[in-house]
Chain A
Amino acid sequence: MSRIQNTFSRLREHNRCALIPFITAGDPDASVTVPLMHAMVDAGANIIELGVPFSDPMADGPVIQQASERALLHHTSVRDVLEMVRHFREKDAETPVVLMGYLNPIEITGYEKFAQAAATAGVDSVLTVDLPPEEAEDFTRIMRQKDIDTIFLLAPTSTTERIERICAVSSGFVYYVSVKGVTGSSSLDITAVTAKLNTIRLHTALPVGVGFGIKDAATAKLMAATADAVIVGSALVSRIAAHQDNPAAILSEVSELLAAIRKAIDE
Chain B
Amino acid sequence: MPEQPDHLIGSMPDAAGHFGIYGGIFASETLMAPLAELTEAYDTAMQDSQFQAELDADLQHYVGRPSPIYHAERWSRENGGAQIYLKREDLNHTGAHKVNNTVGQALLARRMGKTRVIAETGAGQHGVATATVAARFGLKCVVYMGEVDIKRQEANVYRMRLLGAEVRSVKSGSQTLKDALNEAMRDWVTHVDDTFYIIGTVAGPHPYPAMVRDFQAVIGREARQQMQQDYHIMPDALVACVGGGSNAIGLFYPFLDDREIAIYGVEAAGEGLASGKHAAPLCAGRPGVLHGNRTYLMEDDGGQIIETHSISAGLDYPGVGPEHAWLKDIGRVKYVAATDDEALDAFHTLTLTEGIIPALESSHALAWAAKLARDMPADQSVLVNLSGRGDKDMHTVAALDGLTL
Hey, which bits of chain A sit against chain B, CB under 8 A?
53-62, 65, 69, 72, 75, 77-78, 102-109, 129-132, 134-135, 152-159, 162, 166, 177, 180-182, 185
Contact = CB atoms under 8 A, between A and B. Distances in A.
Contacts, number: 119
Contact of A105 (B31, B182, B304): B304
A106 B303 contact: yes
8 contacts: A105-B304, A134-B24, A157-B30, A157-B31, A158-B33, A162-B29, A177-B29, A181-B186
Contacts of B272: none
A156 B192 CA distance: 11
B178 interface: yes
Interface stretch (B130-138, B244-252, B284-292, B320-328): B284-292
Contact of A103 (B26, B173, B302, B305): B26
A252 B28 CA distance: 33
A129 B28 contact: yes
Contact of B189 (A102, A158, A182): A182
Given A103-B289, A182-B189, A58 B303 contact: no
Nearest to A185: B190
A130 B289 contact: yes
Contacts of A154: 29
A162 B26 contact: no
A107 B289 contact: yes
A180 B193 CA distance: 9
Interface string B203-228: 00000000000000000000000000
Given A155-B29, A157-B192, 18 more contacts: A54-B304, A56-B305, A58-B28, A62-B172, A65-B172, A69-B172, A77-B302, A103-B26, A104-B305, A108-B299, A131-B26, A132-B27, A132-B32, A155-B33, A157-B31, A158-B32, A158-B33, A180-B191
A69 B174 CA distance: 11
Contacts of B24: 134-135
A59 B189 contact: yes
**Majority SS at the chain A contact face:** loop
Interface string B101-129: 00000000000000000000000000000
B192 A180 contact: yes
B315 interface: no
B304 A130 contact: no
Given A132-B26, A158-B33, A104 B172 contact: no
B279 to A, nearest CB: 15
B301 interface: yes
B186 A155 contact: no
A197 to B, nearest CB: 15
Contacts of A53: 304
A103 B186 CA distance: 17
B41 interface: no
Contacts of A102: 289
A62 B193 CA distance: 22
Interface string B297-320: 101011111100000000000000
Interface of B: 16, 24-34, 172-173, 178-179, 182, 185-186, 189-193, 288-292, 297, 299, 301-306
Contact of A104 (B27, B189, B290): B290
B303 A56 contact: no
A108 to B, nearest CB: 4
B29 A105 contact: no
A157 B32 contact: yes
Given A103-B289, A157-B34, A78 B28 contact: no
A59 B30 CA distance: 10
Contacts of A108: 288, 299, 301-303
B304 A72 contact: yes
B8 to A, nearest CB: 24
A154 B25 CA distance: 16
A135 B322 CA distance: 15
Contacts of B28: 58-59, 129-130, 153, 155, 177
A181 B179 CA distance: 17
B25 A134 contact: yes
B302 A181 contact: no
A132 B297 CA distance: 20
Given A56-B178, A107-B289, A130-B28, A78 B302 contact: yes
A159 B31 CA distance: 11
A61 B186 contact: yes
A162 B290 contact: no
Contacts of A155: 28-30, 32-33
Given A56-B178, A130-B292, A105 B303 contact: yes
Contact of B186 (A105, A107, A162, A182): A182
Most buried by B among A104, A159, A162: A104
B177 to A, nearest CB: 12
A24 B92 CA distance: 47
Contact of B182 (A56, A131, A156, A158): A56
A55 B289 contact: no
Contacts of B292: 130
Contacts of B172: 62, 65, 69
A185 B221 CA distance: 45
B190 A107 contact: no
B205 to A, nearest CB: 9
A225 B403 CA distance: 66
A216 to B, nearest CB: 21
A166 B32 CA distance: 12
Contacts of B16: 134
Contacts of B182: 56-58
Contacts of A152: 29
